[in-house]
Copies of this chain bind each other. A is one copy, B any other.
Amino acid sequence: MVLKQRAKVQALPGCPMSKCMGLLGGLWTPELIWALNDGARRFSELRRDCPFISAKVITSRLRDLEQRGVLSRRVMPTSPPTVEYDLTPLGRELLPAIKSIVEVGSRLLLRDKH
Contacts and interface: CB of A to CB of B under 8 A. Distances in A.
Nearest to A31: B17
Interface in A1-54: 1-12, 14-27, 30-31, 34, 52
A11 B14 CA distance: 32
Contacts of A6: 25-27
Contacts of A102: 16-17, 20
Nearest to A109: B19
A101 interface: yes
A97 interface: yes
A114 interface: no
Given A2-B9, A4-B25, A10-B2, A15 B105 contact: yes
Interface of A: 1-12, 14-27, 30-31, 34, 52, 90, 93-94, 96-109, 111
